[in-house]
């Protein structure tokens, strides 16, 4: 099937098998290997990306379901060499160790902060329930998300990860054709 997907600000047009998972499309066709696969059942959340600004588990979606949509991965968060506040907060709070869950965890945290601008401990923990981390015991992840909430207000809100039209059109496709 033919699909057209905007990923991290670049529009790709591709022929894909209907069964191809979105995460495999991202990783193997587009080289977006920042997004990873941690399980087969949607439990671990390592593959979390944004579809039109909302978090989805890209191992639970087909590439064809992303046709005509905008996908943001961990690789599309930084702007002009400046990290997203959630990325900064994960670094500053030592919220990662092996880092395998981190891309999904950051994408989910951004989604959470879009709904909760000043989440308490329990809200963060519940909001990240679908993302497993085996290294950190979550303590510093919770701290990082709360720290990010402070960093993101006011002004630098979570819409930051979404692409403005002019931003998208100013970039040339670099592959996937």
User: CB-wise, 6 or 35, nearer to another protein?
Assistant: 35
In the complex, minimum distance from the CB of residue 23 to another protein, in angstroms, rounded to a whole number = 11
- Tell me whether residue 118 is exposed, middle or buried, using C-beta atoms within 10 angstroms of its C-beta: 0 to 12, 13 to 18, 19 or more: exposed
Give, rounded to a whole angstrom, the gap between the first and last alpha carbons of the chain.
13
- Interaction of residue 156 with another protein, rule CB under 8 A: no
Q: Which stretch binds another protein (CB under 8 A): 22-30, 147-155, 156-164, 168-176?
A: 22-30
- Interface of this chain with another protein, residues 59 to 88, rule: CB under 8 A: 73-75, 77-78, 83, 87
Binding residues with another protein: total (CB under 8 A): 58
Strand 70-72, strand 2-7: pairing: parallel
Residue 169 CA to residue 165 CA, distance in Å, equals 6
- Interaction of residue 159 with another protein, rule CB under 8 A: no
- Interaction of residue 25 with another protein, rule CB under 8 A: no
Note if the bond before 121 is cis, omega within 30 degrees.
no
């Amino acid at each position: 099937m033919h699909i057209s997907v905007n990923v991290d600000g670049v529009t790709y047009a591709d022929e894909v098998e209907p069964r191809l998972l979105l995460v495999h499309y991202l990783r193997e066709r587009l080289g977006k290997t920042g997004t990873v696969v941690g399980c087969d059942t949607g439990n671990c959340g390592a593959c979390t990306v944004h579809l039109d600004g909302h978090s989805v588990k890209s191992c639970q979606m087909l590439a064809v379901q992303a046709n005509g949509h905008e996908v943001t991965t961990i690789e599309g968060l930084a702007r002009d060499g400046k990290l997203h506040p959630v990325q900064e907060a994960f670094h500053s709070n030592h919220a990662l160790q092996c880092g395998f869950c981190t891309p999904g965890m950051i994408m989910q945290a951004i989604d959470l902060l879009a709904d909760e601008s000043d989440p308490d401990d329990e809200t963060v923990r519940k909001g990240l329930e679908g993302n497993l981390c085996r290294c950190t015991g979550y303590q510093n992840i919770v701290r990082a998300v709360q720290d990010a909430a402070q960093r993101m207000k006011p002004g630098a809100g979570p819409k930051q990860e979404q692409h403005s039209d002019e931003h998208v059109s100013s970039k040339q496709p670099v592959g996937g054709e």
